[in-house]
Each structure stands twice: as structure tokens, then as C-alpha cells.
Chain A
Amino acid sequence: MQKHPSSETAGSILRPTTPPDIGQRTQRQRIIDAIVDSCAEKTYAATTITDIVARAHISRTTFYKQFDDKRACFDAAVGHCIDQLQEVAAAAHSDSDPPGDAVRKATEAVIEALAARPGVAQLLTGDAIAVDPMVVERYRRATIPALEAIWSREPGSAEGHTDPRLAFGQAQVLIFNQIATGKPERLPELLPEIVYLAVSPFGGHEEAIRQSRLARKAAPDGPGSA
């Protein structure tokens, strides 16, 4: 599959710098990258501090200077990933886009970013659920108002459509299922469905279908190919 260039604003969590730069990244950032990669490989439950420090090329002492424990490190990683994805989403559309287009563009950018760094998808859809539901709640609270804000430019939307909280959970389940099948690089194949879920609660079914068609066109290796 052709890799789509992701947004320039994507920082190191989504486009990790390669070993030559390793010394320049902050220790904290290296630790966060390390826990993301370790969770992707063996999940949060099986990740140990030893795994993290080995991947980050740091000492245990350095780890404990930055974080109290594995859970604190995980929370920081989740927070960081959410911030990064929000930046990616925000950079992908402009105020002049009609709401449906804006949501589709933001969704496409987020899914591309997740496909490029599947560890982040595993962290946010698989481990976050296993570790603590409040983690999920935190980024649901960050996402739904952002969508609402986009639609607020169009009065009268968000009436009688599908439930945005549920749509968020659905997207999470679909993304995790793709991770669980061991083919995270095929996440973009889910674009029509994820775009539908993102648009439907505020724009309604018809608009969601229209946007999902556009998303399908944008993803040449969509469902059914491969």
C-alpha cells in the first residue's frame, strides 16, 4: 500500500526520528516512544519497566526521574498521542471547508497517522480500554466537542441523528479490530466507515454516506482490493 504523506505538524510520536537523532530527543520523549512501541508489540499488560528502559536506551534511574511508575508513563503517552492526533486533525482542514468536508479531511488525516504508527492505535484503542476507562473518556471529551465546534457553523445540525458517544466507541472498536487482525497498515481501508461514523451524529445519515463515498475515492486501495 502506498503510504500517504502525513501532515507536517505530526511530531515525533507519529513520525519517530531514527536512531542517529536519538540523543537529541528529550529523554521523556524517548521514554514515551518506547512505551508506545512496547505496547504495540506485547500490550501494556505485558510491558515492563525493563522493556521500556531498554528500548529508550536509558537507565532505570532516568525513568524514575521522569515517571513514578509504568502507569504514569502510560498516561503521559496517551496524553501525548491525543495531543498529536488533535494537531493532525486540526491541520487537515480549514475554516472555509463545509463541516462535512472538514470532518472527513480530519478523519482521513487521523487514520493515516494511525496507520503510519500502529503503536499509537494499539495504545488508544486496545490498551487504553484495558488499563482504565477514564483514559478513553479523556480523549472522547477532547474529540466530540471538536466535532461539535465544526458543525456549530451550521445551525440546526446534531438534531435527531446517531449518538456521538456511541460513534466514538464504534470507531474505536473497528480500529482495534484492525489492529487485532495484525494488519494495521490496512487501517485506511476502514476510512469509509470511520468517516461515516464521524459525520453521522452531526451531519446525519445522508451527509455521512456522501462523505464516506468521497473518502472511498480518496483511498485507492479501499475495501475489497488487497
Chain B
Amino acid sequence: MTEGPEDLRRWRLPRGRHGLPRELVERSQRERLHAAVVRVTVENGYEATTVADILGEAGVGRESFYELFDDKLDCMLAAQKILVDDLEGRVRDAYLDEGPWPERMRKALGVTLDWFAADPEAARFTLIELSAVGPAFRSVFKDQFARFIELLEEGLDDDTPYPELAAATSLAVGATMARLYEEVMLDRTTELPRLLPDLTYDLLVPFVGEEAARAEQRRASASS
């Protein structure tokens, strides 16, 4: 994201008649509400969060909120989509770059860990608070999972070691999610980048075996 939730929170439109085009006002309100819903649900938990809390945090009126979103969940899901789009874009740039596949995997993983570490609030929101929203979480989860599998497969090339396991890519996405979830849960989000060498190893083993994965793990240690 070009502007993190922090910047968005500080962004207030001048009061009264400001003569800004309606489109821009709405965009600003939308972004402030996205930032607010992340912050407020992380602080209060999904259950306890009310639309009023979000409005207070965003400095946006109730009417404007309901013009943009159906309800609290709709607002959360919109914020989630923006966060995941941003993450996917960054991972894509790193992963679909030049270089041997294991190295591109390591770089994509590095970008992922850095992204979460840079904004522990967004990390908590996207990994933990969202899982409490009820059945809607299932479709968000499966769509995101599928999206990252697709990206991973897009970057496989002729040099990629052919994994014997049909769903080796889902093991890789699963490993990343499981590790992120655990570290964020334990409030170790800012230290995520330190896990790059070990996680690189665990991700690569199903594709290349232990010895080759160990070599990439050493490169990850050396580069961090």
C-alpha cells in the first residue's frame, strides 16, 4: 500500500465546504474507514466492535458509512481485500522476477515476512480477527488460499524441480500461513523476518529434498 493505515488515520478533510469533488471525498472516507476498521477490530475484537466505533475512529458520519458499506462485516471484508491485494502484488513482483526458482521462492517469502512485520495491526486483523467473523471467513480463506497457490504455480518454470507431491504448492502456502498465524498469535510479529532461513528450508524440502533446501537456507542466513 502506498499509504499505510497510519497515514490514512491522520488524513482528515477540512471541515465545512471544501469544494473537493465528490469522488475524492468518497475515496478519502472509504480509505479512512478501512484504516479505522482494522484498528478498531484489532483493539476490541470483532464481536465487540460496533459501526459507531468505526465511525468514531474514522471521523466519518453514519450516513456516509452506509452509502459505502452494508455493515461492519462488509467494511472488514473490503479492508481485507485491499490488504491482500497489496501483499499479493508485492509477493508477485519478488517471485516473478529473474533468477533460479529456489531463490525466487526465498525472496517471495522474505517479502511476505517483511510485509507482516511492518504492520502488526494489519497482520492481526488479516490473520486472526477475520477468522472470528463466522461462515463468511470460509469463503475469504479459500479464495485467498487459491489465489496464492495460483501465484506460486504461475512462477514455476522448466527449471523448477518437479515435486512428486501433487499439491506441493499447497504445502508451501500452508506452511507460510501456519507460521504467520502462530507468530502473530504469540505477538512476535515484528520478529518474523528472522524466521526466513528456517522457513525457506521447510518450504523447499518437499520440492527439492533436504540437502538442496539446506543450501538455500544457508543463502537466506547469509543475506539477512
Seen from chain A, the residues whose Cβ lies within 8 Å of a Cβ on chain B are 42-43, 45-46, 126, 129-131, 133, 160-163, 165-166, 168-174, 176-177, 179-182, 190, 192-193, 196-197, 200, 204-206, 209, 212-213, 223-224
Contact = CB atoms under 8 A, between A and B. Distances in A.
B166 A224 contact: yes
A223 B198 contact: no
Contact of B165 (A42, A126, A182, A209): A209
Contact of A192 (B133, B135, B137, B165): B165
B48 to A, nearest CB: 12
A181 B142 contact: yes
- Chain B interface size band reads 35 or more
B141 A170 contact: no
B139 A180 contact: yes
B24 interface: no
Nearest to A206: B209
Interface string B32-60: 00000000000000110000000000000
| Dominant SS among interface residues on chain B | helix
Contacts of B177: 169, 173
Contacts of B199: 166
| Dominant SS among interface residues on chain A | helix
Interface stretch (B89-97, B108-116, B168-176): B168-176
20 contacts: A45-B47, A129-B131, A130-B132, A131-B132, A165-B182, A166-B179, A170-B174, A170-B178, A171-B174, A172-B178, A173-B173, A192-B166, A196-B206, A197-B171, A209-B164, A209-B165, A212-B165, A213-B164, A223-B167, A224-B166
